[in-house]
Structure 1
Amino acid sequence: MSLFRTELRRLTKRRFTRWMTVGGLLVLALIVVGLFFSNQKIGADQLAEAERSADQQHQQQVQWAEQERANCERAKAAGENVDYYPPDCAEITPPLREDIQADWFLPSTFDFKKSFADTLFPLAGILAMVGFVVGASFIGAEWNTGGMMNLLLWRPKRLTVLLTKLGALLAGLLALALPVTVVWFGSLWLVANWRGSTEGVTSGVWQSFLLTGLRGIVLALVAATVGFALASLGRHTAMALGGAVAVMVVGQVGLVILLDLAQVRFAEAWLLPTYAYAWMTKTVTLEDWRTCNATYSGECEPAILDITWQHSSVLFTVGVVLFLGAALWTMRRRDIA
């Protein structure tokens, strides 16, 4: 019997894997439902209502300006302290009607071209979370229950067994992530058709969305590998989950406080979420307003630092190599007990 097929079957049969997958899919479904009911398709009725709301807002501003101008003139005539009014009460004027745009009063609508890229972030985040937790539980449970020791009696090649388990995990996650991403594209396309707009979506826009979706899948695979490696190092699921909590909650929050106290430039460059965001968006520009770069026009512009997807790829590669390499090394060197 193939070891890979056996591990893949063991992965899919685990109740924790199924429940974690169902939970992640349920969250994604709730996001789609929320987007559907919180958006509307803009038509003639919505535009007319927005125009009426803009007219009403302008009338309210006119009434307010007239009342404040009258209060200003009355206060000055009575000799009261009117420092909060301008020197000339005639300067209190309402905004022009064209300054109040009807677009401000339009209901929320789902513009596929403008909004879809942002929806890929929660998709990638949920897939990464599912991959990390399932990966950690998959190998952690094997160590905790003694399944790994029993398996090595049948297949004594330690590294082959560990890497096969990892391969089964990544294959299972990929088999989940690809159709989920396709369904995500289709669901939000339908939301845009029924509750928004799909105008301006060209082949170039589709290509950009597809590449971002693929980067999200790669991020999930990296998270699953790291979770698997950490749990293998500690030979317990809690090692990976505890490490994640320590790094993301204690370490990152503490690091933010420390960097802020030390007034370190571009403090966000030391935070992991910055690199995950840069991986998805291709570039994140950090600004340091404490540094003034004077321009020829005399303006003060902040110093900037670009974090690109190449920087993120280097960080992810180093992390995978270090954690997985350490897991393989300890698997080969330590006693199986």
Structure 2
Amino acid sequence: MSLYRAETRRLTKRRFTIFFVLLALVVLGLVAAGVAVTNHKATPAVVAAAQADADRDFQEQTKLAAQEKVRCAERPADYPEGCDALWTPTKDQFQAENYMPSQFDFRNNFPAMLITFAALLALAAFIIGASFVGAEWNSGGMMNLLLWRPQRLRVLSTKLAALLVWLTGLSVVTGAVWTGVFWVIATQRGTTAKMTSGAWQSIGLMGLRGLALVLVAGAVGFGIASIGRHTAAALGAAIGVIVVFQFGLGVVLSLAQARFADLYLLPTWIAAWMFKSFEVTDYNAPCVFSANGCEPPTYTLTWQLAGSVFAALSIIIVGAAMWTIRKRDIT
């Protein structure tokens, strides 16, 4: 059996891998079920009920407005702006669409579901990638494997390749199912209107960026665990990033009133990568005069810059893992 096939089999047969995949699927299923339950299709009966609610609200607001005008006529001193300035409700302000229950619009709402899918799968990829190599270092399996194949770089790179190929297959298959599930939800509990070829292309490109995010997370988890030679090294690094660099750094930057503080936070870069751009506003800086008045300065973070940072991060960490396995003793 080839080394690649052996590593792929080792990865897919691990109970830890199976557990986290099932856990991710359960969470995704709960998200889809929640969306299905909280959305409703705009049937004639639903539209009629919404219109009835709108008419009822219009009548109540008209009655209240009339009572307010009577009070204004009786006590004009309490209304310095005059009775004519009081609000008078009009029929066009009470449309049925404002009283309808939410419906899942595939074109407008599915991108958020796609980001949820990519974020959850990236988290699972990080943990699975870290455990895949970290457990072997901790148990001594890596040393035994290198006795059979005394080619350190080849062994580690083959493990990484098996992980990334498997993550690609998992993401593509589950992503296709995820898209199909929400297409059915939109058909039964919403709308699939305006799904042009351009809309599908945009969703497809977002899906590819989500796949890249999953692969980067898996590679980074794999690399950190290999450098630390323990799964806990990657998990500890992740916890440190979340606690220290996200919450702690966020608080420090807020207290220091740093410019564009959100640029130092990971979710901003992920949002820029997935949405193609993300605008960060600096509310601590003096406003800038524009056609719309004096507005706080903004900075647009592009997906190209975010992707470059993620690529550089993964290359550095994986490269460091390759260098350490080549230079350090296997003990």
Q: TM-score, normalised on structure 1?
A: 0.94
Deviation track 1:107-129 (CA, whole Å, cap 9, x = no partner) reads 11111111111111111011101
What is the DSSP-based 3-state SS (H/G/I as helix, E as strand, rest coil) of the residue aligned with 2:282? strand
Asked if the contact 1:66–1:93 (Cα under 8 Å) also holds between the matched residues in 2, the reply is no
Give the CA RMSD over aligned residues. Answer: 1.6
In 1: Cα distance, 2:162 partner to 2:156 partner: 10
- Indicate whether 1:206 and 2:200 are aligned: yes
1:264 to 244, 258, 261: 258
What is the DSSP-based 3-state SS (H/G/I as helix, E as strand, rest coil) of the residue aligned with 1:291? coil
Q: Which amino acid aligns with 2:154?
A: T
Match of 1:43 in 2: 43
Deviation track 1:42-67 (CA, whole Å, cap 9, x = no partner) reads 12222221111111111111222233
Match of 1:56 in 2: 56
2:151 to 144, 150, 157: 157
What is the DSSP-based 3-state SS (H/G/I as helix, E as strand, rest coil) of the residue aligned with 1:165? helix
Count of residues in Structure 1 that have an aligned counterpart in Structure 2: 330
In 2: Cα distance, 1:34 partner to 1:331 partner: 46
Match of 1:20 in 2: 20
Judge which range, 201-210 or 44-53, deviates more: 44-53
In 1: Cα distance, 2:87 partner to 2:248 partner: 50
Mark the CA change 1:292 to 1:93 in structure 2 (over 3 Å): closer, same or farther. Answer: closer
Shift of 1:175: 1.5
Q: Which amino acid aligns with 1:307?
A: L
In 1: Cα distance, 2:254 partner to 2:326 partner: 42
Shift of 1:95: 1.8
- Indicate whether 1:179 and 2:173 are aligned: yes
Deviation track 1:11-61 (CA, whole Å, cap 9, x = no partner) reads 011000001000101111111111212111112222221111111111111
Asked if the contact 2:65–2:89 (Cα under 8 Å) also holds between the matched residues in 1, the reply is no
In 1: Cα distance, 2:91 partner to 2:286 partner: 40
2:289 to 290, 294, 305: 294
Asked if the contact 2:106–2:183 (Cα under 8 Å) also holds between the matched residues in 1, the reply is yes
What is the DSSP-based 3-state SS (H/G/I as helix, E as strand, rest coil) of the residue aligned with 1:41? coil
- Indicate whether 1:244 and 2:245 are aligned: no
Shift of 1:86: 4.2
Q: Which amino acid aligns with 2:114?
A: L
Asked if the contact 2:245–2:265 (Cα under 8 Å) also holds between the matched residues in 1, the reply is no
Q: Which runs of 5+ in 2 are unaligned?
A: none
Shift of 1:72: 4.4
In 2: Cα distance, 1:93 partner to 1:171 partner: 63
Asked if the contact 1:111–1:196 (Cα under 8 Å) also holds between the matched residues in 2, the reply is yes
Deviation track 1:118-142 (CA, whole Å, cap 9, x = no partner) reads 1111110111011000000111100
Q: TM-score, normalised on structure 2?
A: 0.95
Q: Which amino acid aligns with 1:158?
A: R
In 2: Cα distance, 1:29 partner to 1:253 partner: 29
Match of 1:274 in 2: 268
Q: Which amino acid aligns with 1:320?
A: S
